[in-house]
């Protein structure tokens, strides 16, 4: 590091005020400094900057705390208040210098790296996901709203659609001839100042704009989406309009019995009970689509390791994750090292050109590489099958074995330049005299390489190989952009395929298209990755003695 | 290679054994390295537009795809480009600053918990943020209920998430470099009455500019390729970054919009590649110190 650092330092085009040639710039202009003070005074500029910055932080904090107070999230409020106090304490007390420098970074680190890991651990023990998003009360009111049907003998409420600040409102004239207004978020209330037309239908309200028929047609989706509660009690029903001119009462056919904790379908008489799994289930096992979030203990882990739909694929995915990471590192290292040795000749013409061309794949954004290769390798229309191989039909990305090879080749394309650069650097820093001494002793070129150069090289490159392994273990972009994990396994209905690695599986379980979102299972899988990575890094720490550098 | 004619004294087999095979390897590797890039460049200028349309490289040159790329309102490429620049630049600048602050503390001050702090940073490096993507998603949706400007769909929220990873990745790299700046400089300045802030901004930061540039560059390149968290956080097409947006081009119908995608890919890759090649030397110094692009 130091040699490169030094040359880089000299070559930096804008290295601050220092002259290009001078190694050490003069310390900044001496300021008005009383020589007696040893710690140095806080200049008024510094104090001012501190006051302004801290003031800004506190202003934001007050806003957040108020919002939390209004939202009645007491636990979060307490934590946020503590953090605010801690920040002020760190920056206002004299001394404690390290904390002043570390606080900003550590704050982000704690929230978005440490806390989210702990939070993942919590989610892994819940059934969080599609259909289990909120509390039980939310679930009940959502069921009551979603199961609404038009009341057969509902009177017509003549309607106008109003707009204010981008939101839409229903202005209705109820059967008694009174004007009322409401929207999805706020229940129907009297609209005293409404202007009525000759038939007695309310058509305008001061402060709102009435939509023309044309506008209603253009904003059809928003208008149809208006569900105006008649009162605070969800059982009272809602008003909805289908054409923008008449609204009707919709009422749920479900009735919630608080005492018995059951939902009853008034049409069929079916009774749904709390199953203890975060769902309402009827006698014959029929489950309502909306459930709520509960803690499920180790269920997600048990599912991952015992569910026949998941167990087999998960095992193959884990094996492939290791294979992919190890083979990728070895291939890239082998090619990179070979190239480094090949071009480690100062008298080779065109060396610089080769070098620049070979760095290109590495400079190309990684997510694009996967997509571009996916086009190249496309079995039906891809350039390789169609143009290079003259119209053959080789399933580069659709055959399980070929897809794995393709992924490895593409990752080799992406990764060998890095290893080439690293190995070139390492080779050049090897002492020359060892080489010469071995030659004098009559060792062959291969012997010199395998017994002397490689071991010496590995000492400096091994830590990089390990971090490269850790990187490839979670190399989401290549897999997801190239094959999206496919081709899919045939022995499971889940979206898992032959080239899926653990991290793509996590992403697909949580945010996959078509399959329901299962945050709980995804987090459980993420925790499994955590444990594997932790084990690997613990071993590698011992091996590379990285600990010794820290003192 | 005309080496043969220019050095008539050496026989061809000897030249080949000594150097010729190296050129052979070089040419072969260069083809492997550059072929996909030429292909995407050719597809960008091919007006056929579909994946099947390209039978040979550079069979036609037209700007149709680029015109279509900027004419598509559902997929605002220009906005994506600007968004990527904004998110990338702010994140890398802030990461560099946070990392430098921390590295300064670790390198120049002795305090309880210093060793433990360095060790935990080294450990945290092993756990990329994308592992906790579910928790990040739920955390941001929770934050969004209180402060909508920082919740899901907001670039500011995304930047904050990225900054959470700043310390783990950068501090160690910077710490090593900070240690190469002689302590005697600080002490001299301290004797002259400079405060710690003046030493940090006036002396240290100026001497470590190379590593600041390397870390900033690597962060920018990494962030501009980041897909997982960005795809989860940024849902509105107007807010998305290039990685998320360009993926949507080919996600559903891989073959339909191929030409337009290729045009977008070329434009998206150019600045990053230019930056990379232009500043190769500094990046390589960062690489050998242990940073992996990604």
User: Tens of pLDDT along B116-129?
Assistant: 888 888 778 778 88
Q: Is residue B58 part of a domain?
A: yes
DSSP A311-363: HHHHHHHHHHHHHHHHHHHHHHHHHHHHHHHHT--TT-TTHHHHHHHHHHHHH
Q: Which of B211, B227, B214, B232 is nearest to B268 (CA)?
A: B227
Q: Is the pLDDT of residue B158 over 90?
A: yes
Same domain (yes/no): B182, B248: yes
Would the CB atoms of A371 and B129 count as touching at under 8 Å?
no
Rounded distance, CA B31 to CA B65, Å?
A: 26
pLDDT for residue B89:
93
Residue B9: give the domain boundaries: 3-68
Four-residue CA torsion sign, B144, B149, B155, B160: negative
Residue B37 has which token pair?
A: 């890039």
Would the CB atoms of A345 and B133 count as touching at under 8 Å?
no
* Architecture in CATH of A136-274: Beta Barrel (2.40)
Mutate to test the interface with B, among A20, A41, A121, A371 (most CBs of B within 10 A): A371
Q: Is the pLDDT of residue B218 over 60?
A: yes
What is the pLDDT tens value at each position of chain A, 551 positions in all?
333 333 333 333 333 333 333 344 444 444 444 443 444 455 777 788 888 999 999 999 999 899 888 888 888 899 999 999 999 999 888 888 888 899 888 999 998 888 998 999 898 888 888 778 777 777 777 777 777 777 777 788 888 888 887 788 888 888 888 888 888 877 888 887 788 887 878 888 888 888 888 888 888 878 887 888 887 776 777 888 887 788 888 877 777 877 777 877 777 777 887 877 777 887 777 777 777 877 888 888 888 888 888 888 899 999 999 999 999 999 999 999 999 988 887 788 888 888 889 888 988 988 899 888 988 888 777 888 777 777 777 888 888 899 999 999 999 999 999 899 888 888 888 887 888 888 888 888 888 888 888 888 887 788 788 888 888 998 999 999 888 887 888 877 788 888 999 999 999 888 877 667 888 888 999 998 888 888 887 787 676 665 455 44
Would the CB atoms of B227 and A98 count as touching at under 8 Å?
no
Q: Is residue B212 part of a domain?
A: yes
Same domain (yes/no): B239, B216: yes
- Give how far B8 is from chain A: nearest CA, Å: 17
Q: Is the pLDDT of residue B3 over 70?
A: no
Same domain (yes/no): B62, B191: no
- Give how far B91 is from chain A: nearest CA, Å: 12
- Delimiting residues of CATH 2.40.430.10 domain(s) in chain A: 136-274
Would an 8 Å CB–CB cutoff place B90 in contact with chain A? no
Would an 8 Å CB–CB cutoff place B134 in contact with chain A? yes
pLDDT for residue A320:
93
pTM score, two decimals? 0.79
pLDDT for residue A321:
93
pLDDT for residue B102:
92
Name the helix (H) or strand (E) containing A265: strand A262-265
Same domain (yes/no): B93, B34: no
Number of independent structural domains in chain B: 2
Same domain (yes/no): B53, B192: no
Question: Could you give the ipTM of this predicted complex?
Answer: 0.86
Q: Which of B29, B50, B68 is the last residue of a domain?
A: B68
A75: which residues sit within 8 A by CB, 6+ positions away? Answer: none
Would an 8 Å CB–CB cutoff place A492 in contact with chain B? no
Same domain (yes/no): B57, B113: no
- Number of residues in chain B: 294
Would the CB atoms of B33 and A361 count as touching at under 8 Å?
yes
Would the CB atoms of B30 and A67 count as touching at under 8 Å?
no
Alpha helix (H) ranges present in A219-295? Answer: 220-224
- Buried/exposed B264-274: b ≥16 CB within 10 Å, e otherwise: bbbbbbebbbe
pLDDT for residue B81:
92
Same domain (yes/no): B102, B158: yes
Average of per-residue pLDDT across B147-151: 83
Contact residues, A window 413-452, toward B, CB-based 8 Å cutoff: 413, 417-418, 421-422, 425-426
Q: Which of B41, B68, B95 is the last residue of a domain?
A: B68
Contact residues, B window 160-179, toward A, CB-based 8 Å cutoff: 160-161, 163-168, 171, 176-177
Residue A230 Cα to chain centre, angstroms: 40
Looking up residue B77, the CATH number of its domain turns out to be 1.10.3720.10
Would an 8 Å CB–CB cutoff place A397 in contact with chain B? no
Mutate to test the interface with A, among B46, B127, B131 (most CBs of A within 10 A): B131
Contact residues, A window 95-134, toward B, CB-based 8 Å cutoff: 97-98, 101-102, 104-106, 108-109, 111-117, 119-120, 123, 128
Average of per-residue pLDDT across B57-78: 81
Q: Is residue B110 part of a domain?
A: yes
Cis peptide before A252 (omega within 30 of 0): no
Would an 8 Å CB–CB cutoff place B289 in contact with chain A? yes
Same domain (yes/no): B133, B260: yes
List beta partners, residue A288: none
Q: Is residue B131 part of a domain?
A: yes
Same domain (yes/no): B43, B139: no
pLDDT for residue B92:
93
* Architecture in CATH of A308-549: Orthogonal Bundle (1.10)
pLDDT for residue A151:
78
Report the residue from B36, B115, B163 with minimal CB separation from A108: B163
Interhelix angle for B209-225 vs B77-108, to 10°? 140
Lowest mean pLDDT among A103-117, A204-218, B5-19, B134-148: B5-19
Same domain (yes/no): B128, B40: no
Average of per-residue pLDDT across B241-253: 82
pLDDT for residue B157:
92
- Delimiting residues of CATH 1.10.3720.10 domain(s) in chain A: 308-549
Would the CB atoms of A5 and B268 count as touching at under 8 Å?
no
Would the CB atoms of B294 and A348 count as touching at under 8 Å?
no
Q: Is residue B10 part of a domain?
A: yes
A86: which residues sit within 8 A by CB, 6+ positions away? Answer: none
Q: Which of B22, B45, B68 is the last residue of a domain?
A: B68
B259: which residues sit within 8 A by CB, 6+ positions away? Answer: B43, B44, B46, B47, B48, B49, B50, B53, B64, B65, B68
Q: Identify the three-state secondary structure at position B290.
A: coil
pLDDT for residue B42:
87
Same domain (yes/no): B173, B230: yes
Q: Which of B131, B125, B121, B144 is nearest to B229 (CA)?
A: B131
pLDDT for residue A205:
84
Q: Is the pLDDT of residue B264 over 70?
A: yes
Report the residue from B33, B206, B261 with minimal CB separation from A17: B206
What mean pLDDT is reported for chain B? Answer: 83
Chain A residues with CB under 8 Å of B224 CB are 365
Same domain (yes/no): B110, B133: yes
Q: pLDDT-derived band of residue B159, with 50, 70 and 90 as boundaries?
A: very high
Contact residues, B window 17-76, toward A, CB-based 8 Å cutoff: 19, 22-23, 25-26, 29-30, 32-34, 36-37, 39-40, 43, 50-52, 54-56
Chain A residues with CB under 8 Å of B187 CB are none
């Amino acid at each position: 590091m130091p040699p490169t650092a030094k040359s880089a330092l000299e070559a930096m085009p804008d290295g601050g005020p220092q002259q290009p040639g001078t190694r050490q710039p003069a310390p900044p202009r001496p300021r008005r400094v009383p020589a007696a003070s040893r710690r140095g005074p806080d200049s008024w500029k510094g104090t001012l900057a501190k006051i302004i910055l801290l003031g800004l932080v506190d202003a934001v904090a007050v806003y957040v705390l108020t919002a939390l107070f209004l939202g009645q999230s007491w636990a979060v409020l307490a934590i946020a208040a503590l953090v605010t106090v801690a920040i002020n304490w760190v920056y206002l007390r004299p001394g404690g210098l390290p904390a002043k420098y570390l606080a900003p970074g550590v704050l982000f680190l704690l929230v978005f790296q440490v806390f989210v890991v702990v939070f993942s651990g919590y989610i892994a023990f819940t059934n969080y996901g599609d259909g289990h998003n909120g509390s039980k009360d939310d679930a009940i009111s959502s069921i009551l709203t979603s199961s609404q049907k038009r009341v057969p003998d509902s009177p017509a409420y003549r309607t106008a659609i109003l707009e204010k600040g981008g939101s839409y409102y229903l202005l209705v004239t109820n059967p008694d001839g009174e004007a009322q207004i409401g929207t999805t978020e706020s229940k129907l209330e009297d609209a005293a100042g409404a202007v009525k037309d000759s038939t007695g239908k309310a058509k305008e309200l001061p402060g709102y704009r009435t939509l023309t028929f044309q506008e209603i047609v253009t904003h059809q989706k928003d208008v149809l989406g208006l569900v105006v509660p008649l009162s605070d009690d969800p059982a009272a029903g809602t008003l909805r309009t289908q054409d923008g001119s008449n609204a009707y009462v919709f009422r749920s056919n479900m009735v919630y019995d608080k005492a018995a904790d059951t939902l009853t379908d008034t049409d069929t008489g079916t009774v749904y009970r709390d199953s203890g799994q975060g769902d309402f289930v009827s006698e014959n096992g029929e489950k309502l689509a909306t459930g709520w979030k509960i803690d499920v203990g180790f269920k997600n882990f048990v599912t991952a390791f015992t569910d026949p739909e998941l167990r087999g694929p998960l095992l193959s995915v884990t094996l492939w994750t290791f294979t992919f990471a190890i083979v990728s590192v070895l291939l890239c290292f082998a090619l990179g090292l070979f190239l480094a040795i090949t071009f480690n000749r100062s008298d080779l013409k065109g060396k610089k050109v080769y070098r620049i061309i070979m760095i290109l794949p590495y400079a190309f954004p990684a997510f694009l590489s996967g997509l571009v290769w996916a086009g190249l390798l496309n079995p039906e229309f891809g350039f390789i099958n169609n143009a290079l191989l003259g119209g053959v039909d080789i399933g580069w990305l659709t055959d399980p074995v070929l897809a794995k090879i393709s992924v490895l080749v593409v990752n080799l394309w992406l990764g060998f330049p890095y290893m080439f650069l690293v190995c070139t650097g390492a080779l050049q820093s090897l002492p020359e005299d060892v080489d010469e001494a071995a030659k004098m002793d009559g060792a062959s070129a291969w012997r010199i390489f395998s017994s002397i150069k490689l071991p010496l090289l590995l000492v400096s490159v091994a830590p990089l190989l390990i971090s490269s392994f850790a990187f490839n273990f979670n190399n989401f972009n290549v897999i997801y952009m190239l094959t999206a994990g496919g081709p899919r396994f045939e022995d499971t209905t889940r979206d898992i395929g032959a080239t899926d690695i653990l991290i793509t599986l996590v992403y697909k379980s949580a945010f996959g298209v078509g399959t329901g979102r299962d945050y709980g299972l995804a987090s459980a899988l993420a925790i499994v990755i955590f444990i594997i990575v932790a084990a690997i890094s613990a071993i590698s720490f011992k091996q590379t003695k990285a600990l010794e550098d820290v003192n | 290679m005309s080496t043969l004619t220019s050095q008539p004294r050496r026989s061809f087999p000897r030249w080949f054994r000594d150097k010729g095979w190296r050129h052979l390897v070089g040419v072969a590797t260069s083809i492997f390295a550059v072929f996909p890039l030429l292909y995407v460049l050719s597809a960008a200028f091919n007006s056929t537009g579909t994946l099947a349309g390209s039978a040979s490289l550079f069979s036609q040159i037209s700007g149709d795809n680029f015109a279509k790329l900027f004419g598509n309102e559902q997929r605002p490429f220009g906005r994506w480009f600007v968004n990527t620049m904004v998110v990338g630049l702010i994140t890398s600048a802030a990461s560099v600053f946070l990392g430098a602050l921390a590295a300064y503390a670790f390198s120049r001050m002795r305090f309880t918990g210093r060793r433990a702090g360095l060790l935990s940073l080294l450990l945290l490096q092993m756990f990329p943020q994308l592992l906790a993507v579910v928790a990040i998603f739920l955390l941001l949706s929770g934050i969004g209920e209180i402060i909508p400007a920082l919740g899901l769909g907001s670039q500011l929220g995304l930047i904050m998430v990225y900054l959470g990873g700043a310390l783990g990745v950068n501090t160690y790299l910077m710490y090593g470099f900070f240690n190469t700046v002689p302590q005697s400089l600080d002490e001299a300045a301290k004797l002259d009455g400079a405060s710690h802030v003046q030493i940090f901004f006036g002396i240290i930061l100026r001497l470590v500019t190379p590593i600041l540039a390397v870390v900033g560059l690597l962060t920018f390149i990494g962030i501009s390729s980041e897909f997982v968290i960005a795809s989860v956080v940024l849902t509105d097409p107007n807010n998305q970054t290039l990685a998320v947006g360009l993926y949507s081009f080919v996600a559903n119908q891989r073959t339909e919009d191929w030409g337009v995608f290729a045009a977008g890919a070329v434009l998206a890759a150019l600045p990053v590649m230019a930056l990379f090649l232009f500043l190769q030397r500094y990046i390589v110094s960062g690489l050998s110190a242990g940073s992996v692009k990604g």
